[in-house]
């Protein structure tokens, strides 16, 4: 049984706002399809206002990281002039990949609403966003770890106590 089949159905009817903002994401996904991109769209909403709506741009850019979610996070951060998107919701037409989920975490996004699952994408394309099958990745380190840690410590030491980077 695949992961999507194991997920419980959402409790009760879909909230009207979720359906409305997924419509925004679907609209930009349609534009992606017209441009020959994977038809994935994402929008970021704060207090009922769309801060950003973007579609996949991996083919036209060409940039393997130009997923709709990443582009929407970048645009929303520019819109609010901050690296944090606390109290924002990300709407994506396809369940975000691990890279995009990590970006949501670092941006402070705590709620993600998606349409199709990654399994749905995999069934149609054979892989996620036309990427080649995963290959072995060599992770080597720490190399000059003491110097790297010292640099991080200097940076962190310059922050006021209790303040995270990017917070006013």
Residues that are catalytic: 69
Which two structure tokens, joined as six digits, stand for 50? 């769309």
- What angle do helix axes 68-80 and 98-107 make, rounded to 10 degrees? 10
Q: What are phi and psi of 42, to 5 degrees?
A: -145, 145
- Contact (CB, 8 A) for 129 and 152: no
Residue 12, both tokens? 């009760």
| Residue the block writes with tokens 């691990």 | 98
Distance between CA atoms of residues 168 and 13, nearest Å: 38
Dist. CA 30–CA 99, nearest whole Å: 23
């Amino acid at each position: 049984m695949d992961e999507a089949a194991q997920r419980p159905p959402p409790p009760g009817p879909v909230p009207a706002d979720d359906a409305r903002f997924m419509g925004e994401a679907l609209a930009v996904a349609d534009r992606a399809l017209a441009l020959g991109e994977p038809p994935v769209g994402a929008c970021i909403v704060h207090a009922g206002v769309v801060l950003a709506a973007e579609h996949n741009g991996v083919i036209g850019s060409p940039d393997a990281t130009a997923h709709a979610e990443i582009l929407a996070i970048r645009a929303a951060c520019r819109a609010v002039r901050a690296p944090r998107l606390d109290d924002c919701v990300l709407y994506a037409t396809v369940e975000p990949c691990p890279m995009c989920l990590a970006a949501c975490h670092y941006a402070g996004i705590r709620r993600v609403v998606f349409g199709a699952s990654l399994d749905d994408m995999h069934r149609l394309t054979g892989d996620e966003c036309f990427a080649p099958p995963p290959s072995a990745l060599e992770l080597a380190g720490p190399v000059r770890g003491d110097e790297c840690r010292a640099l991080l410590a200097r940076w962190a030491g310059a922050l006021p106590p209790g303040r995270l980077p990017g917070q006013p």
